[in-house]
Structure formats: structure tokens, C-alpha cells
């Protein structure tokens, strides 16, 4: 039996046992939308799901994971869709003007094209994603005025200083840094991405939002027209994913808590079609972003510098190299790729343990899908 030197399933470990089920968020239909207030009583009647979160470790800078879960609700009217996300956060971090300070934030992610299943990790070149990101610092800018150094420290004095009133010296604002935007109309940025390092601020900013603090939790509402990119049309199911940043834990950029894709069931979506094990496994392959490293349909070819097996191998012959129990053990326990140069940097992509985040039935279905990739008439050579 041929044995692969290693096999990489890209995933991120979480510390909340039992999570991993493919969740479905059903929207509540309403004739009128609630006001832009996360604590509006209309949200009490809306069903919700608790989405598991995990550290982002697929690409550097990796880490984070302070938020273990977030609760999501959705309300849909004829013309608008609203989401409310709430999560536990022990401290308020809303002033990132110092280099060592970072802001609390949350983001919703959707495919730009509804027929696509992009990588949940910022999409890819062929299947981009749309991201709505709310931040506590942007909310404070709207609620209390732009939080410059002088507003934070009103008694600050200097013999010579280009104060905020002189736009000539506001380099971040001149460079288009969204954190330095003094004329924002919403605490939410409408963003797009086609893979790691491609995050772009969109010219169109149609998403409104509002975040409030209640006890030890943030509650944030997002609101947008049902038309646009993506279009939230009745009868559809749309993948939805989350990310949360805890500023007090120095989380920023790729250092954050993230989720896999889950399902948003819009009005009149109907029951989910029945699936056999292989079809279910393929859906989990897409949900968990396995193709981020292994490519569409497990065809491989993704570069993993300084790994002994670079690029990452295809999975079409995993059936020859592993038994089902062996694959299950790799999925559960994870595996570090061996370095080609022991003195070189670690390969960026690795297999983390999935046992704390993937349901056993999903793991079994994923294995059935991987075994189905080997065709009976395939040649004997790799």
C-alpha cells in the first residue's frame, strides 16, 4: 500500500467540544424592519443559531480565537434584510489610535455569486466573497465624534504640533486608511476579497449598522437592501460565515476567531434536499474550505513553501494510501508537514486537529467523498 508522506487538511482548532454541525439560520419574515437598534424587542421573536468560532491559523499572521462562539439572528422584509450578531467580550476596546491598541470587531461573509462555494477563508480568485465588517472604533467615531488624539486627551499640549485641524498632516486619511475616515456614515465597511491579501474597500457602501454594549456582550445589527451583491432573494440558501476580533487580546487582521460556512435559509427556502454520504461529504469539503489547500475536487497543486511535499498533493488516490480509520485519525489529531529545510521557516499550511470542531458524521461523510475521488479506470501511476 502506498503511503503519502503527509496529508494536509486545512482547518482551525477550537476549544468548544461538540461544535461542528452544519447549522441553518432561518430568517424571520416581517412586514416592517425593526429600527436600527440591536436591543429592539423585535429580535426577541427571531430564531437564532450559535455559531462555533475557532482561531484563524490557515495563513500568517495566524492566531486569535478569544471568541468561542457568536449568536446570529436574521429578519427579512420585502425590501431589506437585517442580521444581529452578539458575542461575549470581557472588555470594551474602541480606541485604536495608539499603535498598541486594537478594536473589537465582527464581520459577516457571503459568496459574491450565489451559485458559488468559495473558500470561507477570504475566497479565491475564481470565487470572490463579500464581507461586512463592523468595528467598535467606527461606532465610537459616529456616536461621539471622530476619536483623534486630541479628543481622547483634551489636555494634551505641545510646543509645535500639526493638530487634527490641519488636514495637510493627516497622512493616514490622505492614504485612504478606513480607520482614519472622519466622514463615515456607517460603522460598517462593505469589503470584497479574492483570497489572502486581497481585501478591498468597495466604492459602494450600502450596509448600515449599529453596535451597542449590554453587560458583557456586544450586540451588532447589519442592514442592507435585499438587492445588490449578493442578492438575498426569497427561496434561496446562501452560505454565511463569521469572524470576530477581540481588541483587548491584540487581535487584528488575520489574528481573529472565524467560522466555517453555515447556511442562511431565506424566506420560502423549503426543506434542504436529501443527500447521500458522498454528496454530503462534498458539501463539507466546501464548507470547511478544504479546497483552499487541496484545490477544487481535491486536485491539489497549492504551494506550501518549505514542505517536503510541495505543492500540496491531490487527494484522488488517498484511498490507496490510507484506510478510513487512518484518515479519521489524521482528521482528529492533525499533522505537521515535515520541513524540506530543517533550518528554514515552517510551511504556512498545516493540518490542525479537527476532533473538537467536526461532528463524527461529517467526518465520516467527508471520508466517503475523498474515497469517491479515485475512479476505477484511473491508471496505476501517480
Question: How high is the pLDDT of residue 13?
Answer: 31
* Cell numbers given for 36: 436600527
CATH of the domain at 336: 1.10.760.10
CB 329 within 8 A of CB 322: no
Domain match, 365 and 281 both = yes
The owner of cell 452544519 is: 22
Among candidate residues 239, 265, 291, the one where a domain is terminated: 265
Grid cell of 186 as nine digits: 456607517
Residue ranges for the chain with pLDDT beneath 70: 1-21, 150-152, 156-166, 353, 356, 376-382
The answer to whether the beta carbons of residues 245 and 64 sit under 8 Å apart is: yes
* pLDDT value, residue 213: 97
Q: Which domain holds residue 158?
A: 28-265
Let me know whether 310 and 365 are in one domain. Answer: yes
152 with 219, same domain: the answer is yes
| 181: nearest Cα among 217, 142, 233 | 142
Q: What are the cell numbers at 297?
A: 475536487
Report the distance separating Cα 155 and Cα 178, nearest Å.
27
What is the pTM (predicted TM-score) of this model? Answer: 0.87
The CA distance from 242 to 90, in Å, is 19
Question: For the chain, how many structural domains are there in total?
Answer: 2
Same domain as 183, residue 76: yes
Distance between CA atoms of 307 and 213, rounded to whole angstroms? Answer: 45
pLDDT at 353: 64
Query: CA 285 to CA 278: how far, in whole Å?
Result: 10
Q: Are residues 211 and 84 in the same domain?
A: yes
| Helix (H) or strand (E) run with residue 185 in it | none
Amino acid at each position: 500500500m502506498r503511503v503519502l508522506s503527509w496529508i494536509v487538511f486545512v482547518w482551525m482548532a477550537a476549544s468548544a467540544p461538540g461544535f461542528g454541525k452544519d447549522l441553518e439560520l432561518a430568517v424571520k419574515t416581517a412586514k416592517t424592519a425593526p429600527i436600527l437598534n440591536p436591543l429592539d424587542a423585535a429580535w426577541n421573536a427571531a430564531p437564532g443559531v450559535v455559531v462555533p468560532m475557532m482561531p484563524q491559523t490557515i495563513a500568517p499572521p495566524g492566531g486569535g480565537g478569544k471568541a468561542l462562539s457568536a449568536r446570529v439572528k436574521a429578519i427579512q422584509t420585502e425590501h431589506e434584510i437585517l442580521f444581529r450578531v452578539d458575542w461575549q467580550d470581557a472588555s470594551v476596546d474602541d480606541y485604536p489610535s495608539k499603535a498598541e491598541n486594537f478594536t473589537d470587531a465582527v464581520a459577516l461573509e457571503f459568496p459574491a455569486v450565489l451559485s458559488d462555494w468559495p473558500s470561507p477563508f477570504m475566497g479565491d480568485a475564481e470565487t470572490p466573497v463579500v464581507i461586512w465588517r463592523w468595528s467598535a472604533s467606527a461606532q465610537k467615531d459616529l456616536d461621539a465624534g471622530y476619536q483623534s488624539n486630541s479628543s481622547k486627551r483634551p489636555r494634551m499640549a505641545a510646543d509645535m504640533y500639526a493638530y487634527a485641524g490641519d488636514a495637510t498632516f493627516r497622512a493616514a486619511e490622505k492614504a485612504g486608511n478606513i480607520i482614519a475616515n472622519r466622514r463615515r456614515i456607517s460603522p460598517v465597511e462593505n469589503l470584497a476579497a479574492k483570497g489572502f491579501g486581497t481585501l478591498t474597500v468597495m466604492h459602494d457602501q450600502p450596509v448600515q449598522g449599529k453596535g451597542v454594549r449590554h453587560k458583557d456582550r456586544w450586540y451588532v445589527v447589519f442592514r442592507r437592501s435585499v438587492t445588490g451583491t449578493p442578492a438575498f432573494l426569497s427561496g434561496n440558501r446562501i452560505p454565511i460565515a463569521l469572524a470576530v476580533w477581540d481588541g483587548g487580546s491584540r487581535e487584528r487582521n488575520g489574528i481573529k476567531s472565524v467560522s466555517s460556512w453555515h447556511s442562511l435559509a431565506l424566506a420560502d427556502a423549503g426543506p434542504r434536499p436529501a443527500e447521500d454520504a458522498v454528496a454530503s461529504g462534498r458539501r463539507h469539503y466546501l464548507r470547511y474550505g478544504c479546497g483552499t489547500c487541496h484545490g477544487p475536487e481535491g486536485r491539489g497543486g497549492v504551494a506550501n513553501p518549505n514542505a517536503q511535499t510541495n505543492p500540496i498533493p491531490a487527494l484522488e488516490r488517498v484511498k490507496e494510501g490510507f484506510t478510513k480509520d487512518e484518515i479519521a485519525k489524521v482528521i482528529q489529531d492533525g499533522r505537521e508537514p515535515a520541513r524540506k529545510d530543517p533550518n528554514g521557516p515552517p510551511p504556512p499550511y498545516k493540518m490542525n486537529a479537527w476532533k473538537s470542531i467536526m461532528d463524527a458524521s461529517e467526518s465520516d461523510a467527508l471520508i466517503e467523498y475523498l474515497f469517491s475521488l479515485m475512479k476505477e479506470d484511473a491508471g496505476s501511476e501517480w
